[in-house]
Amino acid sequence: MAHRILPPGSTIGMLGDGQLGRMTALAAARLGYKTHVYAPGSEGSPCAQVSAAVTSAGWDDLDALETFARSVDVVTLEWENVPVAVVEHLGRFTPVHPGGKVLSVAQDRVEEKSFVNALGIGTAPWRAARSAEEVARVVAEIGPRCILKSTRLGYDGKGQARIEPGTDPADAWAAIGSDAGIVEGFVSFTCEVSVIVARGLDGTMAAYPAVENRHKDGILDKTLAPARMSAETAAEAERVARRIAEALDLVGVLAVEMFVTPDGGVLVNEMAPRPHNSGHWTMDACHSCQFEQLVRAVCGLPLGSVERVADAEMENLIGADADRWPELMAEPGARLHLYGKAEARPGRKMGHVTRLLPRT
């Protein structure tokens, strides 16, 4: 069946108003598309600053959602925790990518792990838990060193609690602030990597090379592209990402975060059906960046080349790190990206800088 191609001049609806939406809107504008952002309290937001239109309304405002849907040609998102009911409501009036099926898997860690395991893809050992008592039983099963996470929401270390020998399960349960959790056992790994894969309306896929991610205080600090690992492990990481995207019937981009085990295998940690922090390096080091790929995918265009023109190191600017902008602007070869956020707070992503390196 022929798929619908949206020509330049069409309007893309964006659910969510943060920096990922902003960078997608900038990529869309370069290709001749307009962006209309929808989110609660979105006036003056990073995405609103560069969008042609803004709707600031709640996720439960059905009339505003319908008006928004009728004003755009396709809807996508920068945040996978948009309520599934919102996506389904919008889908009555205009195409939405990714759709509710994808979000229902990505929004719940138990659903996510179950989905991945059903594909024959490995993860760390895990169990669902709904009380401190269940946490204690799970820890007894899978080992004394674990991490407890809320099944929904939670990112950049939020909604998580480490469990070590001697940790009181009741304290860990209280710390995540949720009535549903997942306990994941620790695994030995040599590094953390991610693969971002784009998938179009016609099912074609393009995957960026696996990159290495280094975290600080639960937040991504640096991404090294490409990851320093064997060709066989890199190929397996890409295969896993492609398999998940295909099984989800995704249209858009998908980031899959993985652990590389000492024997060169990979275990899936998390996934996100949207542009991802670990893909920001593609803006400066690839022919087509992850944000352009999202635009191409949802508009029915051919996917762009994922070939990199250089190796890269991407550094996040967290909180007061953004105050270094004068020196970063003066640094030869540094590519600075600031997100237009008015207030720098501890743990808040204010921008990033990419440094290009000779291609290996």
Q: Please check whether residues 63 and 85 belong to one and the same domain.
A: yes
Q: Please check whether residues 289 and 243 belong to one and the same domain.
A: yes
Q: Please check whether residues 256 and 305 belong to one and the same domain.
A: yes
Where residue 169 sits, what CATH number does that domain have? Answer: 3.30.1490.20
- Per-residue pLDDT at 120: 97
* pLDDT tens digits for range 166-224: 787 788 888 877 778 898 998 999 999 999 999 999 999 999 999 999 999 889 999 99
- Per-residue pLDDT at 243: 98
Cβ burial, residue 166 (10 Å; 0-12/13-18/19+):
exposed
Whether residue 5 is contained in a domain is answered as no
What lies within 8 Å, CB to CB, of 122 at 6+ separation is 265, 266, 267, 268
Q: Please check whether residues 145 and 167 belong to one and the same domain.
A: yes
Annotated binding-site members for ATP: 109, 149, 154-160, 184-187, 192, 215, 269-270
Q: Please check whether residues 151 and 91 belong to one and the same domain.
A: no
The number of distinct structural domains making up the chain is 3
C-alpha to C-alpha distance for 290 and 199, rounded to whole angstroms:
11
Q: Please check whether residues 340 and 252 belong to one and the same domain.
A: yes
Q: Please check whether residues 259 and 341 belong to one and the same domain.
A: yes
Q: Please check whether residues 129 and 247 belong to one and the same domain.
A: no
Where residue 31 sits, what CATH number does that domain have? Answer: 3.40.50.20
Q: Is the pLDDT of residue 33 over 70?
A: yes
Residue 96: count of CB within 10 angstroms of its CB: 26
Residue pair 34/12 in contact (Cβ under 8 Å)? The answer is yes
- Per-residue pLDDT at 1: 43
Q: Please check whether residues 155 and 43 belong to one and the same domain.
A: no
* pLDDT tens digits for range 88-140: 999 999 999 999 999 999 999 999 999 999 999 999 999 988 888 888 888 88
Q: Is the pLDDT of residue 75 over 70?
A: yes
How would residue 226 be classed by pLDDT, with cut points 50, 70 and 90? very high
Q: Please check whether residues 277 and 327 belong to one and the same domain.
A: yes
Domain that holds residue 173: 125-185
Q: Which ranges of 229-289 does DSSP label H, i.e. alpha helix?
A: 231-248, 282-285
Among 136, 158, 185, residue at a domain's last position: 185
Q: What is the pTM of this model?
A: 0.94
State how far the alpha carbon of 51 is from the alpha carbons of 23, 27, 171, 283, in Å.
10, 11, 44, 19
- Per-residue pLDDT at 166: 76
Annotated binding-site members: 109, 149, 154-160, 184-187, 192, 215, 269-270
C-alpha to C-alpha distance for 220 and 315, rounded to whole angstroms:
8
Residue ranges of E strands in the chain: 11-15, 34-38, 53-55, 74-77, 126-129, 146-150, 160-163, 181-185, 191-199, 205-207, 211-216, 219-225, 252-260, 266-272, 311-318, 334-338, 349-357
- Per-residue pLDDT at 157: 57
Among 154, 185, 216, residue at a domain's last position: 185
Q: Which ranges of 151-230 does DSSP label H, i.e. alpha helix?
A: 169-176
Q: Please check whether residues 31 and 84 belong to one and the same domain.
A: yes
Peptide bond before 226: cis, by omega within 30 degrees of 0?
Answer: yes
Q: What is the mean pLDDT of the chain?
A: 94
Residue 298: count of CB within 10 angstroms of its CB: 28
Residue in the block written with tokens 């592209």: 225
Cβ burial, residue 165 (10 Å; 0-12/13-18/19+):
exposed
Q: Calculate what percentage of the chain has a pLDDT beyond 70.
A: 98
Where residue 340 sits, what CATH number does that domain have? Answer: 3.30.470.20
Q: Please check whether residues 211 and 342 belong to one and the same domain.
A: yes
* Residue 219: φ, ψ to 5°: -120, 140
